[in-house]
Amino acid sequence: MALPVAFFALFFAWPVAAIVARGLKVDGAWRLGRIADVVAQPDVRHVLWFTTWQALASTALTLLLALPAAHVFARLDFPGKQLLRAVVTVPFVLPTVVAGSAFLALVGHRGLLDELWGVRLDTTVWAILLAHVFFNYAVVVRTVGGLWAQLDPRQEEAARMLGASRLTAWRQVTLPALAPAVAAAALMVFLFTFTSFGVVQILGGPAFSTIEVEIYRQTSDVFDLSTAAVLTLVQFAAVGAILAVHAWTVRRRETALRLVDARTTARRPRGAGQWALLAAVLATIAVLLVLPLAVLVRRSLDAPGFGYYRALTAADGGVFLVAPVQAVWTSLQYAVAATAIAVVIGGLAAAALARRDAGRLVRGFDALLMLPLGVSAVTVGFGFLIALDEPPLDLRQSWILVPLAQALVGAPFVVRTMLPVLRAVDTRLREAAAVLGASPWRVWREVDLPLVRRALLVAAGFAFAVSLGEFGATVFIARPDNPTLPVAVARLLSRPGELNYGQAMALSTILMVVCAAALLVLERLRTDRTGEF
């Protein structure tokens, strides 16, 4: 645990504490009354209210549209099911900047709806809600559908034989068993939408602002660190409460159910009702998930002769000091470095947490590992500049700063992927190897590694995809001569002109293709134990 604790203390706790202290301290004295003053401001209360209600609305809409798909993937067997599962998961691994760009190409100015019917939604909250559903659809399908597929269908069939209707049997037998998974999925979606940044930054405009977007505005535009620090504390408290509830629901899910092999529960659709449900889910996926990405690709090809892609190879001397296409190579390098760091840190943490004799303090660190996913990435990024600005850790000019920030987000995914597999390794195998004279390192190499190799590769793939799309912290610390792909897309979208918009669509398409390729590799490595998140 020494290295993971040191890593998170140095590159997460310290930067966040540094920026909060900078905002709430004046002449060395704490101004805790500033918290009440900031929260009492009408514009801040409006931001808090909008953040909360849009997260609730996004969560409800996601559950409404994704739960039927979870049933289809769990109970129905049809051609192309595995390919469709990968398609559903693509939006989740895409950077939020790409999701925002895709919906901007669909519902924004000069978007598909604008061209066909003169309708624009980019100035309404519906664009944000639909983009959040697009991004989180797979969370519900994977979390709820994964458990649903393992529930014994004979329990519901027994209720039907005793006279219950299909709806009554589902409501009284299946739904109570699914409740922990539904609650866990809802909390995850709420967490992601409550801390939304890239989607709201692109689609919200000046009218809509979440806490995360407001922290960014107060930090970079207004430079009001006091208000930004207060908003960081508010978000930190909210995220802590969400993660506590999430941990409770996960424990219920792990201990309350008896499960069967998921491969034995899916059947071919039977009857008009099941075929209609399958058709409705396929139509929803086509319109809500596939259409925005297809429009994104189409917009990137509007210029004849791949003009927008060719324009990426020329430096414009403006926002970019290098050709925008250089962001592709820069992002890949950063993502590889971040993946290596995340795998080492997350792997060590998972190994420590998997030990049966782990103390309460070590087990408590499991919940703390999730905090980087919910705490303001903007705060972390700006905190890097404040905390890591003097010897012996003056990293402001170092390239490693970006991979370190990206690894903070990737490490929790590594832990969540590897921990169940490590806990499933029979300890008697390790003990037998030790009795035969193997050193601890050889026990790990000969016993644990062969069993967890596939989970390790899946974890590395998730960390790579997440690192590639990290935006909130990277937007502060990426240098102008080495922008990452999400930062380059955001900068192009912020500039007027058809060429800049087209280049943003082209870069977003490249980023989408790279993330989708990583996902397809994950799907080939996926097993029942390591494939769900």
pLDDT digits (tens, 9 = 90+) for 501-515: 888 889 888 888 887
- What stretch of H or E contains 393? strand 393-394
Q: If 0-12 CB within 10 Å is exposed, 13-18 middle and 19+ buried, where does residue 435 land?
A: exposed
Task: Give the pLDDT of residue 466.
Answer: 82
What is the residue-averaged pLDDT of the chain?
81
Per DSSP, the chain holds a count of helices (H) and strands (E) of: 28, 4
Candidates 518, 352, 341, 480; CA nearest to 423 is 352
Report helix, strand or coil for 76: strand
530 contacts: CB under 8 Å, gap ≥ 6: 417, 420, 421, 454, 455, 458
The region that residue 118 occupies, defined by phi over 0 for left and psi between -120 and 50 for alpha, beta otherwise, is left
Integer CA distances (angstroms), 58 to 52, 107, 322, in order? 10, 18, 38
Q: How confident is the model at residue 90 (pLDDT cuts 50, 70, 90)?
A: confident
What would the two tokens of residue 334 be? 């950063």
- What stretch of H or E contains 500? helix 498-525
- What stretch of H or E contains 167? helix 166-169
Kindly report, residue by residue over 258-307, the tens digit of the pLDDT: 445 445 567 788 888 889 999 999 999 999 999 998 988 988 998 888 88
Q: Please compute the mean of the pLDDT values over residues 163-168 and round it to a whole number.
A: 78
pTM for the whole structure: 0.80
Q: Please compute the mean of the pLDDT values over residues 9-22 and round it to a whole number.
A: 86
Candidates 350, 307, 451, 382; CA nearest to 18 is 382
Whether residue 96 is predicted with pLDDT greater than 50 in this model: the reply is: yes
Q: Please compute the mean of the pLDDT values over residues 78-86 and round it to a whole number.
A: 83
The residues that bridge with 393 in the sheet, in sequence order, are 390
CA distance 371 to 369: 6
Task: Give the pLDDT of residue 529.
Answer: 43
Task: Give the pLDDT of residue 263.
Answer: 56
435 contacts: CB under 8 Å, gap ≥ 6: none
Whether residue 455 is predicted with pLDDT greater than 80 in this model: the reply is: no
The neighbour count for residue 490, using CB atoms within 10 Å, is 22
Least confident of 30-34, 125-129, 399-403: 30-34
CA distance 212 to 50: 12
Whether residue 216 is predicted with pLDDT greater than 90 in this model: the reply is: no
Tell me which range, 76-90, 330-344, 500-514, is most confidently predicted by mean pLDDT.
330-344
Task: Count Cβ neighbours within 10 Å for each residue of 51-89 and write b for 16 or more, e otherwise.
Answer: beebbebbbebbbebbbebbbbbbbbebeeeeebbbbbb
CB 408 within 8 A of CB 11: yes
CB 511 within 8 A of CB 95: yes
Q: How confident is the model at residue 319 (pLDDT cuts 50, 70, 90)?
A: low
Q: Please compute the mean of the pLDDT values over residues 71-87 and round it to a whole number.
A: 84
The neighbour count for residue 190, using CB atoms within 10 Å, is 22
Whether residue 387 is predicted with pLDDT greater than 80 in this model: the reply is: yes
Whether residue 156 is predicted with pLDDT greater than 50 in this model: the reply is: yes
- What stretch of H or E contains 29? strand 29-30
CA distance 141 to 144: 6
Q: Please compute the mean of the pLDDT values over residues 147-176 and round it to a whole number.
A: 78
Task: Give the pLDDT of residue 95.
Answer: 77
